[in-house]
Each structure stands twice: as structure tokens, then as C-alpha cells.
């Protein structure tokens, strides 16, 4: 009988973790880089990496395999709900800015065609 009560108590206590208690406050969590349209409008074709980093800050993701692309991502959550999310990618050719893509389109890039995406390396069997 005692082991049954202990098992019932453990089951009840562990079930409390799965029930969302009403009125529990969940803070807003902001992750990533905050980039505004005004910051994106400062980007001009041919800018150096240093100039882009000065304007936008350190990128959230610098791809190890493609060092010519920087990604800036921002997510704001309230608990499990995503309140806002956006993404901005900048592409370089060497040290020169050649492309900007994502949720913000800089004014200097509106009249230019989109930047070419790097071709994926084709696998050859051999």
C-alpha cells in the first residue's frame, strides 16, 4: 500500500510539469542581431567587410565553408510563441560587398539585379 501511495505521489508531481499553469508570466526573449531598415539602407555595393561589420555589427552566423556570406538573424519569443523573426544575408566577393538579401532591401540595391548565389559544388563519382 505504501509503495502504491509513493508511486501515485510521484506520478502527480511529475504531471505538474506538463500542465501549463494559468497566469505564469513568460518573459520576451530576444536572440540575434537587431538590424533596422535604416542600417540596411547604409549598405552600398563595393563596401569592405570592415565597413559592413561597422554598420551591421558582428554577424550571427559566419559559415565555415562559405566565408563570403554573413547571416544576420533575429528572433523574438514569448515562451514558445514566436513574436517576430527576420533574416538578412550579405554576400562578398573577396573583400567587396556584392549582394544583400532577406527581409530588408537597401535602397542602393533596389535598382540592381539580385546577387548571384554561389554554385553548389557538384559531387563527382570517381
Identify whether 15 is part of a domain. no
Mean pLDDT of the chain: 79
Identify whether 19 is part of a domain. no
The stretch 62-82 carries a mean pLDDT of 85
User: Percent of the chain scored above 70 by pLDDT?
Assistant: 77
CA pair distance 67, 47, nearest whole angstrom: 16
Overall residue count recorded for the chain in this entry: 126
Identify whether 114 is part of a domain. no
Identify whether 124 is part of a domain. no
| Residue 73 domain boundaries | 25-106
Under the banding of pLDDT at 50, 70 and 90, the label for residue 18 is low
Identify whether 122 is part of a domain. no
If you write DSSP's letter for every residue of 35-66 in order, what string do you get?
--HHHHHT--TT-BHHHHHHHH-S-SEE-SS-
Least confident among 14-18, 26-30, 59-63, 111-115: 111-115
In a 13 Å sphere around the CA of 70, the CA atoms on its Cβ side amount to: 22
Closest CA to 60 of 86, 94, 38, 40: 86
Domain count, the chain: 1
pLDDT value of position 20: 61
Q: What is the DSSP letter of 21?
A: P
Identify whether 117 is part of a domain. no
Identify whether 123 is part of a domain. no
Under the banding of pLDDT at 50, 70 and 90, the label for residue 79 is confident
CA pair distance 85, 107, nearest whole angstrom: 21
Domain with residue 35: its CATH number is 3.30.1450
Least confident among 42-51, 79-88, 92-101: 79-88
Identify whether 93 is part of a domain. yes
Amino acid at each position: 500500500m505504501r509503495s502504491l501511495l509513493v508511486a501515485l505521489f510521484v506520478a502527480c508531481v511529475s504531471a505538474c510539469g506538463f500542465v501549463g499553469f494559468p497566469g505564469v508570466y513568460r518573459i520576451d526573449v530576444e536572440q540575434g542581431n537587431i538590424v533596422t531598415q535604416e542600417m540596411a539602407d547604409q549598405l552600398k555595393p563595393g563596401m569592405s567587410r570592415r565597413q559592413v561589420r561597422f554598420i551591421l555589427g558582428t554577424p550571427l552566423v559566419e559559415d565555415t565553408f562559405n566565408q563570403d556570406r554573413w547571416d544576420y538573424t533575429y528572433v523574438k519569443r514569448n515562451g514558445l510563441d514566436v513574436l517576430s523573426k527576420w533574416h538578412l544575408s550579405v554576400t562578398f566577393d573577396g573583400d567587396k560587398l556584392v549582394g544583400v538579401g532577406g527581409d530588408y532591401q537597401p535602397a542602393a540595391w533596389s535598382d540592381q539585379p539580385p546577387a548571384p548565389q554561389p554554385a553548389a559544388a557538384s559531387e563527382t563519382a570517381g
